[in-house]
A and B are shown apart, each in its own frame.
Chain A
Amino acid sequence: MTVPAETIVAMPPERGRKRNWLQSESATGLGLISPTLIYALIFLVVPILLVIANSFWTQHYLVVDRTFTLENYRIAVTDPIYRDLLMRSLWISLLVSFFTVVLAYPIAFFISFHGGRHKGLWLFLITIPFWTSYLLRVMSWKVILGYNGVLNATLMGLGITDQPSDAFLYNTSAVVITLTHAWATFAVLPIFVSLEKIDRTLIEAATDLGDGPVRRFLRITLPLSAPGIISAVLIVMIPTVGDFVTPKLVGGKDGVMIANAIQAQFGKAANWPLGAALSVTTMAVVTAIAAAVVLTIRTAARRIR
C-alpha cells in the first residue's frame, strides 16, 4: 500500500509544476517575444557576428584569408582618412542631434501644453513629411540649397546677393541641415511623451512656491523631461553616424562620412574585412559617445535646482 501511495503523492506536484511553468508569466513572456527574438537573432545578431568575424580576416583579391589578424583594426584606427571620417561623422551626428532636439523641444512642448483637444491632430500633422520617401526629401533639399536652387533665387530676388552662391550645398552644413530635417519628428515623439508624463500639479506647485514661467520651466519641466531628451538624442545620433545616403547626395567631398567609406569597402574596394573593422570600430565609438552624452544630460538635469 505504501508504494502506490507514494507514487500518487509524488506524481501530482511534478505534473503541477510542468503545467504551472507553461502558464507562468515567464513562459507567456517568452512565448510573446519569441517571434521577434528569433527574427532578431537571425537578421541582427548573426550578421553582426559575421561582421565581427570578418573584421579579423584578410582579403586577398577574390579569396578571404581566415587567419586571425588585427591589421584591419590597425588601419581603421591609425589611417588618417578613416580617423578623420569617423571624427567628422561623430561631429555631424552630435550637431544634428543637438539641432534636432532644440527644434523638436518647442514643438513637443507646444503640443503637450497647449495642444488642448487637438493633440492627436497635431501629432498627425507632424508625420506628414514622412508620407514622402526619405530620398525624395533629401533630393528636395538639393533643390532648395543648390546653385540654381530656391534659396539662391530668393536671396537674389530680395537683392541680398547679386549672384548665386555655391556655399549652401555639398558641404558639412548641407548634411547637417538635411539630416536635422529628416530626424526632427523622431525627436518630437519621445520628448512629447516625457512632457505628457509630467504631473501638471507639479508645475502648479512650483508656481505656488513663487516661480514664474521661465523658472518653473527650468526647474521642473526641463529636468523632468530629461528622459525624453535622452531618447531623442539617442534615436537621432546613433543612426545619423551611420547615414550614407544624405552625405552622398548633398555632402560633396566635405560631407563624406564614415558610412560612405564602409560602403566603399563592401562595394567597389571589395575589402570586406576592412569594411567590417571600420563598422565595428564605429559601433564601439558610437556606443561610448552615446553613453557619455546620456551621462552628461543626466548630470545636467540633476544639477538644475
Chain B
Amino acid sequence: MPERTMIEISRVTRSYGAFKALDETSLSIREGEFFSLLGPSGCGKTTLLRMIAGFDTPTSGTISVDGQPMDGIPANRRPTNMVFQSYAIFPHLNVEQNVSYGLKRLRLNPSEEQRRVEEALAQVSLGGLGKRGATELSGGQRQRVALARALVMRPKVLLLDEPLSALDKKLREQMQVELRRLQQAVGITFILVTHDQYEALAMSDRIAVMFGGRIAQVATPKEIYQRPTNCQVADFLGGMNFVKANIVEENGSTITLDTPVFGRVKTDKPVAFARNGNAATLGIRPERLRVLWDDATDKHEVAGKVVDRHYFGEITHLVIEIPGFEKPLSVTETNNFGADDIPVGAPIRLAYDPDALVALAD
C-alpha cells in the first residue's frame, strides 16, 4: 500500500490562558493506519483529537486532513467522524434512525440509504436490531451503534475517544479484537485516544505517547514497548526496572553504560537521546528477568533475595533485593515452576538477557 499521509499536524498549540494543553506538536498519520494517542489524563490527547474533529481550534499551527488544511472548516463539514466516549446515542431515536442520522442530509434514495444502514449494522454485528430503541441497549450495543453511525458516513478518518473505557474487562478485550478486525476490513484511518497501554499495544499500527501536551515518542507497539525513549514512556507502558548508570561511551547509534552488578552494557542509543551530563538510566522489563531454579546457571546472572511476593493467578510478581542496587528488581514469573511458593527471604538467582537492557534518557 502506498504510504500516503492522511493527517498532518504541524506545530499545533492549544493554550487555555497560560496553560498549554498542546505544545507545538507535529505528527503525521498515514492513510489506513490504526493510530493511537496514548497518555495519562491531561496529556493533551483528547484536545488533539477534538481539534482534528473540529470541536476545538488550535491556538496556532495547522491540521490537514488528506492534504486539505482544516483551518476555519467547521466540524460538520470535515471528512472525519467520531465515536464519543459516552457514545452520544440519540435517546429519542431507534438504532436504525441513529445510524441513518448523518445520511439524511445526503438525500440518498430510500433503498440505498437502507442498504447502507444495514451494511453498517452488519459490520458491527448488530444486524436485526434496527428497530430497537436507543434506551433499550446494553453498553456494548450502544458502543456498536456509535461505531456504525460513524462508519456509515464512510469518513476518511474515524476518531475514537476512549471508546472502550466504559465497558467491563471481558467485553473490552473482545471489542479490541473486533475494532482491529473492523479497521482492517474497511481500511479507514482510525485514530484512537486511550490511557490504557494494553489497549494501545494490542490494536495499533503505531502509537504516539504523550505527556504534558507534548509527544514523547511515536513508534510501533513493539518498538515503543521494547525501546522506549525515556523513563516516562518506559514506565507508562508497563512495569520497568530502572538502574542508575553512567555513560562511558556514546557514538552514532550505540551507547555504552557502566552499571553496578550488570557491568558494562553496550546497547542501541534511543532516538532523540538527550544526554544530561554523565548520568543515564538502564531499564529492563520484569518479564525479561528469569529465575534460575535449583542449580541452573546462565552466562548473565545476578544474585539476591526475595523481599516480597504478589500472586496474580497465572503469574507471580517477585520483588528481589540485589546487593549493589538502590532499588529492588521486579520480576514476573509464570507459575509453572513454583514462583508462587517461593518463601519471602529466600536467596535467589536471576538470569537476564543483555539484549533486553535498554538505555533511557532521564
Contacts and interface: CB of A to CB of B under 8 A. Distances in A.
Contact of A220 (B55, B82, B90, B105): B90
B92 A205 contact: no
Contact of A223 (B88, B92, B104, B105): B92
Interface string A23-47: 0000000000000000000000000
Nearest to B75: A207
B91 interface: yes
A199 B55 contact: no
A219 B103 CA distance: 13
A289 interface: no
Nearest to B82: A208
Interface stretch (A6-14, A210-218, A259-267, A276-284): A210-218
**Residue of B82, B92, B102 with most chain A CB atoms under a 10 A cut-off:** B92
Contacts of B55: 204, 207-208
Interface string B101-125: 1101100000000000000000000
Range, interface on chain B: 20 to 34
B92 A206 contact: no
A204 B76 contact: no
Nearest to A216: B76
Binding site secondary structure of chain A: helix
Contacts of B91: 202, 224
B88 A211 contact: no
Nearest to B92: A223
A302 interface: yes
B92 A209 contact: no
Contacts of A209: 76, 81, 101-102, 105, 149-150, 153
A210 B84 contact: no
B89 to A, nearest CB: 8
Contact of B88 (A202, A301, A305): A202
B93 interface: yes
B75 A201 contact: no
A208 B90 contact: no
Nearest to A226: B92
11 contacts: A202-B90, A204-B82, A204-B88, A205-B90, A208-B80, A208-B82, A209-B76, A209-B105, A210-B76, A212-B76, A301-B92
Given A205-B149, A208-B81, A301-B92, 11 more contacts: A202-B88, A204-B75, A204-B82, A204-B88, A205-B82, A205-B84, A205-B88, A206-B90, A209-B153, A210-B153, A224-B91
Interface of B: 53-55, 74-77, 80-82, 84, 86, 88, 90-93, 97, 101-102, 104-105, 149-150, 153
Interface of A: 199, 201-202, 204-212, 215, 219-220, 223-224, 301-302, 305
Nearest first, the 10 A-B pairs at minimum CB distance are A209-B102, A205-B88, A201-B88, A207-B75, A208-B82, A207-B76, A210-B105, A210-B76, A210-B102, A202-B88
